[in-house]
Structure 1
Amino acid sequence: MGGIVRKKREKIIIRTSIISIVLNIVLVGFKALVGFFANSIAIISDAINNLSDVISSIIAIAGTKFAAKKPDKEHSYGHGRIEYIASFIISAIIIYAGIAAFIESCKKIIKPEEISYNKFTIIVIVSGILVKLLLGIYVKKKGKLVNSDTLIASGVDALNDAIVSISVLASGIIYLIWNINLEAYVGVLVSIIIFKTGIEMVKNSINDIVGYRIDGRMAVEIKNEIMLIDKVNGVFDLLLNNYGPDKYYGSVHVELPDTLSVSEVDHISREITERIMNKFGVIIHTVGVYSINTKNIEIIKLRKEISDIVFSYDGIIQMHGFYINEKEKNIKFDIIIDYKIEDREELYNIICKEIRSKYSDYKIEVVLDFDMSD
């Protein structure tokens, strides 16, 4: 992602967050006052929920600002992952708000208090629902536009808030019509929804920080693009590390004929890095090369025989990097075993044993590779 695009992304996140802050502050003020005078724990819990949204938006702005800092000596890949930390903090705040609301609601169940709903109370709640629905749709849309997990989470949270407010509205209408006080119970429901939202956001934030498998469609598109380059016979071991939204750095292996010169390999390597950067904004640091035997038909037949042995076992995803050095009587290749196989090491050893027993004239070197991308 270019510098201009990143600056535009930063502006959109900050502007959207400021709009969210202003609207939520207004909602907090009205709901807190109405909740206080109506002695309504449900409305006050709703106000607390909106207050957590204000804090979340402030943290989102701070996180975006820090994440946009340029790389330095200590952080050569930039500061993009600060956005993930910001999302984690926001999640923790939402969880705390849910727990606090749950405790207060339980107190009201144990020790009920008289509430005082009126038409103005209902108008404030309905207005809050409309604002939250529109805000949620707007923020989520902007989040998807700039690929911001923080904004998307805030948008989803706002839509959840609207659902929460609808439940508060329902309890208010029930009280006005039938004089039945479900207030504290609705407060418990609200607090559980808030808590659940926070837990889901924590999981997403932890996944971002720890690292996860790259999007399958993106991996396939990158590999297909590399396959368009002349002389490339295969693309393997695509490894991408995420250092913030849309900040990918990685490496890849390609299979090339053993007839190419060093200068030809260098040209292909440079073309790969340039094409992937220009089309996907991904920085490929390293292009590794697997040489393919093309001069000896017998070796090609041998590769087919060994491939048949490997794929005769269940759980084999891929075999690649196959090369035979006839002079040194050496066979090298990698295999990828599905993570669903309970003991990958055991299966790997069984395969190696069979191949070594059948081709005892050769030194067999098999690498148990990882399934890193689609």
Structure 2
Amino acid sequence: MDRKKKIIQTSILGIVANCLLAGFKAFVGAVTGSIAIVLDAVNNLSDALSSVITIIGTKIAGKEPDKKHPLGHGRVEYISAAIIAIIVSYAGITSLIESVKKLINPSTPEYTTTSLIIVAVAVVVKIVLGTYVKKVGKEVNSDSLVASGEDAKLDAVISTSTLVAAIIFIISGVSLEAWLGAIISIVIIKSGYEMIADTISHILGERIEMQLSHEIKRIVVSFDEVLGAYDLSLHNYGPERYVGSIHIEVDEDMSMARLDQLQREITYKVMEETEVVLEGIGIYCKNKKDSPADLLRKELSRFAKKFDYVKQIHGFYFDEQKQIVSFDLVISFDAPNRRSLFDEIVEAIKKEYPQYSFNINMDIDLSD
């Protein structure tokens, strides 16, 4: 089964289950006068809406690329996940408001054995549903499904709190429903905020996953003529769409014809094994071993790495005739002030090697 079809089928299952639960809970809440059960029913309807949004988002994301969106519409899935996160947050805020109202103007709920059994069944259903939806979401890399699954589990927590409040009321006559509702509402609001923050982070663009980064670089350096792979940059256009570029280091004597062929071979193999499209492969020429340029590169690399947070230098080029040295200096994002450290290193290098002119670029620590 393809990814799109699996997401839609799972979402339809969520819609059916949540609508049935909402109907049961609304009836039980109306009979018992329990605000918590009624709110629970409303929350189930919001879950069904989340599944509808997931289906719509998946269908739009699957549209073919067009002139305005040449890399497709995959990022719509992140937008649909953000909408679901907002719905979760709204449900939490609404629940908190209603719980506070109940605290200010308390009323005595009436619980029956039937109503409690229905709520208990709902807890089991939501746990099973939430676990399944979240599992499928991770399998197909769908933020929308993961958010829906997490929301379903939060519903189970709400229903459980209702059950606990009911048992306490039956045993002691003390109604804690509103207090538990307020506490759970805060938990839901927090979860909604975290979902929104996570989705926005995806939209902004995150660091490449270490496993994917290592896999791509492993494939690239598996070619005997590639002496190093650097500056891997990937742009995410949806969970199933990565487009990027990389720099490779090759022998300075490689012919243009062979270099062109090598670039094509690398692009094809990376696409075949990872489904990542490398739109560009930049070239660094490596000097002959033990040549003046090679020796200077090693010496400058050792010098630069004396400073904390320096990861590497690459893209090294030495113009012997003009005595100009050029290279990229990669400083970790863990450095308290990357720009200040870079300026300090450049000054130290110029002071240590006054006979050369330097063109040093502070490169971005893009990938592991």
Shared fold by TM > 0.5?
Answer: yes
Name the SS of the counterpart of 2:318 in structure 1.
strand
Instruction: Within 5 Å, give how 1:192-341 maps onto structure 2.
Output: 192-294=186-288, 297-341=291-335
Name the SS of the counterpart of 1:245 in structure 2.
coil
Provide TM-score, normalisation by structure 2. Answer: 0.97
Q: Does 1:41 align with 2:38?
A: no
Q: 2:24 aligns with which of 7, 21, 30?
A: 30
Determine the C-alpha separation between the residues in 2 that align with 1:152 and 1:93: 14
Alignment match, 2:57: 63
Determine the C-alpha separation between the residues in 1 that align with 2:352 and 2:82: 54
Equivalent position amino acid for 1:194 in 2: I
CA drift of 1:215 comes to 0.5
- Residues 297, 316 of structure 2: 8 Å contact kept: yes
Question: How many residue pairs were aligned?
Answer: 368
Equivalent position amino acid for 1:373 in 2: S
- Residues 41, 187 of structure 1: 8 Å contact kept: no
Per mean C-alpha deviation after superposition, the further-off stretch among 154-163 and 292-301 is 292-301
Equivalent position amino acid for 1:327 in 2: Q
Gaps of 5+ in 2: none
Determine the C-alpha separation between the residues in 2 that align with 1:30 and 1:189: 24
- Residues 333, 366 of structure 1: 8 Å contact kept: yes
Name the SS of the counterpart of 1:239 in structure 2.
strand
Determine the C-alpha separation between the residues in 2 that align with 1:217 and 1:371: 16
- Residues 317, 326 of structure 2: 8 Å contact kept: yes
Provide TM-score, normalisation by structure 1. Answer: 0.95
CA drift of 1:178 comes to 2.3
Q: Does 1:365 align with 2:359?
A: yes
- Residues 324, 356 of structure 2: 8 Å contact kept: yes
Name the SS of the counterpart of 1:366 in structure 2.
strand
Equivalent position amino acid for 1:91 in 2: A
Alignment match, 1:155: 149
CA drift of 1:259 comes to 0.9
Determine the C-alpha separation between the residues in 1 that align with 2:252 and 2:154: 59
- Residues 49, 194 of structure 1: 8 Å contact kept: no
Q: Does 1:109 align with 2:97?
A: no
Gaps of 5+ in 1: none
Equivalent position amino acid for 1:178 in 2: S
CA-based RMSD: 1.4
Q: Does 1:118 align with 2:112?
A: yes
Equivalent position amino acid for 2:194 in 1: E
Name the SS of the counterpart of 1:341 in structure 2.
coil
Q: Does 1:15 align with 2:9?
A: yes
Q: 2:74 aligns with which of 80, 98, 108?
A: 80
Alignment match, 1:136: 130
Name the SS of the counterpart of 1:373 in structure 2.
coil
Identity %: 44
